[in-house]
A = this chain, B = another copy of it.
Amino acid sequence: MARIVQKFGGTSVGSVERIKAVAQKVKATVDDGHEVAVVVSAMSGATNQLVTWAKECGAFHDAREYDTVVATGEQVTIGLLAIALQDIGVDARSWLGWQIPVHTDDAHGAARIESIDTTKITNRMAKGQVAVVAGFQGIGPDHRITTLGRGGSDTSAVALAAALNADRCDIFTDVDGVYTCDPRVVPKAQKLNHITFEEMLEMASGGAKVLQTRSVAMAMRHKVKLQVLSSFEDLPGTMVVEEEPDMEKNSVSGIAFSLDEAKVTLVAIEDSPGIAATVFGALADAHINVDMIVQTAASEPGKTDITFSVPETDLERTRKVLDDVRKIITCADMITSSDICKISVVGVAMRSQPGVAKTMFETLADKGINIEVISTSEIKISVLIASDYKELAVRSLHSAFGLDAN
Contact = CB atoms under 8 A, between A and B. Distances in A.
A87 B75 contact: no
A294 to B, nearest CB: 43
Contact of A68 (B50, B56, B57, B96): B96
A53 B80 contact: yes
A75 B80 contact: no
How many chain A residues sit at the interface, stated as a range, is: 35 or more
Contacts of A79: 54, 65-69
A217 to B, nearest CB: 30
Interface in A115-150: 143-145
A84 B68 contact: no
Interface in A57-96: 57-62, 64-69, 71-72, 75-76, 78-84, 86-87, 93-94, 96
B72 A87 contact: no
A335 B298 CA distance: 100
A20 interface: yes
* Overall SS of chain A's interface: helix
B83 A66 contact: yes
A83 B99 contact: no
Copies of this chain in the oligomer: 2
A87 B60 contact: yes
Given A16-B56, A76-B50, A76-B72, A65 B87 contact: no
B72 A57 contact: no
A280 interface: no
A53 B84 CA distance: 10
Nearest to A23: B57
A169 interface: no
A349 interface: no
Given A68-B78, A68-B94, A69-B79, 15 more contacts: A19-B57, A50-B76, A53-B76, A54-B80, A57-B83, A58-B83, A58-B84, A59-B87, A61-B83, A65-B82, A67-B79, A68-B79, A68-B82, A71-B75, A72-B72
21 contacts: A16-B53, A50-B76, A53-B76, A57-B80, A57-B83, A57-B87, A58-B84, A58-B87, A59-B87, A61-B86, A61-B87, A62-B82, A62-B86, A65-B83, A68-B94, A69-B75, A69-B79, A71-B75, A72-B75, A75-B75, A99-B143
